[in-house]
Structure 1
Amino acid sequence: MDRLLRCAIALMLAAVSAGLMTPQARAGTDGGWVPLAPGVAYRELTVRTPHGEARVYAVRADLRQPGVRADLLFPGAVADRAPLTRLAGARGAVAAVNGDFFDISEEQHPGIEATGAPSGPAVFRGRPLKAAVPEAQRFGWRPPPGDDDRDVLGVGVDGVARTDRLELHGHVWTPYGSWPLGGLNQYALPVGSIGVFTSDWGARSRARAVCGSDESRADPCTTDTWEVTVRHDRVVSVSPTPGSGPIPEDSTVLLGREAGARALADLPLGTPVAVDYHLAATRPVPLVFALGAYPVLRGGHPLPQLDTVDVEPRSAVGLSHGGRVLTLLATDGREGTSTGLTVSELARVVGDLGCPDGVYFDGGASSTLVARDPATGDLTVRNHLDHGQERRIPNGIGIFAGPGPTSD
């Protein structure tokens, strides 16, 4: 008993010293922060709105605390999904929140399966996983003017969380000419472009990448396509249609549509091919991880033209103390008596929790926040889910407390 008491006191002192025990949500009516681990705390609160009371669940992580860190959670492939409890549990996370919007349905394209791949860019351990789909091909919420399909939230090599914008830069080099890359492991390619797919994509069919257009994701799929497999810098196979199945680590698949397809069709077997690419950021500090996120709050002010009508479950992350403290949150909204929030209301709640900057993640049935019970160690979903079921998601942010990095 004495040992348990000493541990509880140590956790409380660590939370107080990190500033995590001070309630800051003016809109909240419930208790303060409860420590989950040194530097990590949990809180539930109720927000009053004109349309009813919304229940909010939040985790605050002080990245200045030794051993506390954030990282990208994903199933190991870009085009794959898993419940957040499984993603967080497999990595030993203390808490986690769901991440980016993703390709969940393809009703407009009969015979084409949804890939489950996220819309925005993603970086894992400094390595680019994917680039952003064209703006019109993004699934789900449309951001206000000024936001961009390339916007991300990440943590740099300096340990500081920040928002940024990641743009794909890359080329295909051959003896017959060079062409810019229009995509990296993404479910939709710009019209007339060439996209590159690596082993990070997974086994899902690449057929969705040539559907839709730069104006509408509902536009039909093009049949003007060509796919080339490159291994050890040589073309080893060609196909007039997009393929599927795992891509070996020593291989790269180039998929072209329209003008991009015609360029690839001119490459016979054995052609030397070199491919280079990177995700260029607007800030000089390299990102250790990043995922698509949509700013709703900057400098303590909600962005203009945020939605004030649609009330849904929401997920968000707030940044404070110069990006050294993260606040993850999710709301109820489709189950029980708790209402959801509009995006405008979400931005204000993030601000009321002491965060001058904040981003919005996928909401609705995807909105999920999990946290470990400090007494039992069990990882549980804290918000009330749509129909009581966890939706499989492509990525999220995990919070870790303890020495050393984790592995997938």
Structure 2
Amino acid sequence: MRPTPVPALAAVVTALAVTMPVAATAQTVPAAPESGFGGGLPLSARPVTTTVAPGVTLTSMSLGAKDADDYWTVHVYLPATIDGPLNTAATALGPEEIARRVAGAVRDKGFEPRVERVSTPAFADRPAGTLGWTVRVGRYATGAEASAALSAIRTAGFAGGTRYTAQDGADRRAPQKVHMIRVDFREFRGTVGTEFGPALNGTEKLTDLAAATGAVAGINAQWFYNSAPGGLYVKDGKLIGGATQGRAGIKITKGGRAVDVDAYTAHVTLRAGRATVELDGVNRVPGEIWNCGGIGGDQPTEKAQHDLKCTDDSELVLFTPEWGVPPTGAGAEVVLDARDRVTAVNTARGAAVPAGGSTIQATGQSAAWLLDHVKAGDRLRVSERVEDGRGRRVALTPDTTILQVGPTLVRDGRVSVNAMADGVIREGDDQTFTYNWTVRANPRSMIGMDRRGRLMLVVVDGRQDGYSEGLGIAQAAELMKLLGAREAMNLDGGGSSVLVTRDGGIVNRPSDAAGQRSLGNVVLVRP
């Protein structure tokens, strides 16, 4: 059984200045799937807080513990249709009818399968309910034993993988290692902002970026695709990454002293003479719209879908000097100087971006449009507009940074996860992604601000059985609320989750076997 939380928890909570009902943590009560931790954190040891710099602290916490209810199992994959082939099945869960058909076939081969229902918690834009059904076989003490059983099941004609049940995302008392940087601006005189390497089109390790800038602490930031950050990215008032329209983001102003979580859209417009057209993207590979949510013509959807690559064979994409070396390929492009004067019109893509200037690459029908409407010597007008969730224009001052990641976790002090709007619940029948990424436990990184105006950078380790399992999105949201967040948003996670301090180096235990990943961009606390 799980251990009861440590004694004198009230004193610990007071020291952390977080909101955790002491009665709820003294004896954790079973909770519904949507209740996350059940209203209180199951601390298994007294948190340890150290001072990183004046006004900057690091708190490390251990939650829960491994017990006899945690085991490895074989997870049998399901076909997409009731009569689909079993040896090439690829979905982790599906309708009960298909799950029971597969379970029957597994049983006929001499195994003892279980059919289990997977539930989703209630999100801000989706009620709680059944996501699907899984088929599992066996209970094993180690991953090696489960892998051996999986080999036998595959030999019998089935597809599958192994799972550790403490990582199913429904265990409030699963082992967790939580690390939190808190920045109190009443004492800290520095700033909080973002950084990337020599170019957006390239990745760097957090420890290298932190060391190069003299940062006292830092955390990973946006998703990255094709070695570049994905989604709206405004750095120091300059838009250098196009938006996944309507997806969540966090706006940082006043050097980190003001943080606001919202949904953002961005529109970049090109005017050539009397003709006007909206650009499809900023600083990304034309035709590849990671996370979808484009402006039109994208396939298979124009709605946000996390980690899905949509495509569009006719696009206009702006490249700024921050990008580095632009991609090459068929199509057309124009080269603009610092005053948006056209210095070249090319019938192929890949020209260097001039200092202070830009290039606009075009593919498909958009290439024909560009060649028809622009000639060397023209003065073009490129304008941009970023809007919040209410359609209000966001002023892009030199003090404005926006990172679009998501989903939202906490808004105005309340758990508020926009799972559908943020695309972390997939469209269509196959909910494997939703199950693996949103419901199941994973390493998570989060950013927020507490009720006292202190910035919070939080990492929870995961995918490390018996040490730290990670969190589902609903649990991540409740964790941030219990830590005192008034506003909070999910950052890139999984193997990207990493937290560093100036003197301690990497604070957490990244889940990749090779250690910390190279990243698209990061958030740094600088003196």
Q: Does 1:129 align with 2:226?
A: no
- Choose the corresponding residue for 2:319, options 197, 201, 212: 197
Q: Does 1:347 align with 2:477?
A: yes
Query: Percent of aligned pairs with the same residue?
Result: 24
Q: Secondary structure at the match of 1:358?
A: strand
For residues 388 and 56 of structure 1, what CA distance do their matches in structure 2 show? 21
Whether the 8 Å contact between 1:226 and 1:242 is mirrored in structure 2 is: yes
Q: Which residue identity is paired with 1:314?
A: R
- Choose the corresponding residue for 1:92, options 206, 214, 228: 214
Number of residues paired by the alignment?
Answer: 336
TM score, norm. by length of structure 2: 0.58
> Residues 272 and 346 of structure 1: is their aligned pair in 2 closer, same or farther, counting only changes over 3 Å?
same
Equivalent residue number for residue 35 of structure 1: 51
Equivalent residue number for residue 178 of structure 2: 56
Whether the 8 Å contact between 1:312 and 1:334 is mirrored in structure 2 is: yes
Spell out structure 1 runs of 4+ moving beyond 4 A. Answer: 23-26, 283-287, 304-308
Q: Does 1:155 align with 2:252?
A: yes
For residues 360 and 326 of structure 2, what CA distance do their matches in structure 1 show? 15
Equivalent residue number for residue 313 of structure 1: 443
Equivalent residue number for residue 265 of structure 2: 167
| Cα displacement string for residues 349-398 of structure 1 (whole angstroms, at most 9, x for unaligned residues) | 1111111321001111111111133xxxx533433442142111111111
CA positional deviation for 1:130: 1.7
For residues 268 and 317 of structure 1, what CA distance do their matches in structure 2 show? 43
| Cα displacement string for residues 299-351 of structure 1 (whole angstroms, at most 9, x for unaligned residues) | 333235756632111111122136x3111111211346321111111111111
Equivalent residue number for residue 81 of structure 1: 203
Moved more, 76-85 or 185-194: 185-194
> Residues 172 and 351 of structure 1: is their aligned pair in 2 closer, same or farther, counting only changes over 3 Å?
same
- Choose the corresponding residue for 1:120, options 231, 245, 251: 231
Q: Does 1:302 align with 2:415?
A: yes
TM score, norm. by length of structure 1: 0.74
Q: Which residue identity is paired with 2:522?
A: G
User: Any residues of structure 2 matched to 1:249-398 within 5 Å, and which?
Assistant: 249-267=355-373, 269-282=375-388, 286=397, 287-294=399-406, 295-303=408-416, 309-321=439-451, 324-335=453-464, 337-373=467-503, 378-398=504-524
For residues 205 and 173 of structure 1, what CA distance do their matches in structure 2 show? 24
Q: Which residue identity is paired with 1:153?
A: I
For residues 491 and 328 of structure 2, what CA distance do their matches in structure 1 show? 25
For residues 304 and 165 of structure 1, what CA distance do their matches in structure 2 show? 12
RMSD: 2.8
- Choose the corresponding residue for 1:235, options 342, 351, 366: 342
Whether the 8 Å contact between 1:227 and 1:261 is mirrored in structure 2 is: yes
Whether the 8 Å contact between 2:230 and 2:241 is mirrored in structure 1 is: no
For residues 268 and 155 of structure 1, what CA distance do their matches in structure 2 show? 37
| Cα displacement string for residues 66-99 of structure 1 (whole angstroms, at most 9, x for unaligned residues) | 4142111211422221011111111111111101
CA positional deviation for 1:236: 3.2
For residues 260 and 198 of structure 2, what CA distance do their matches in structure 1 show? 24
Gaps of 5+ in 1: 1-18, 104-113, 136-147, 208-222, 402-408
> Residues 388 and 54 of structure 1: is their aligned pair in 2 closer, same or farther, counting only changes over 3 Å?
farther
Gaps of 5+ in 2: 1-13, 21-39, 65-170, 298-313, 420-433
For CA contacts below 8 A with separation 6 or more, give which structure has more relative contact order: 1
Q: Does 1:44 align with 2:173?
A: no
Q: Does 1:177 align with 2:177?
A: no
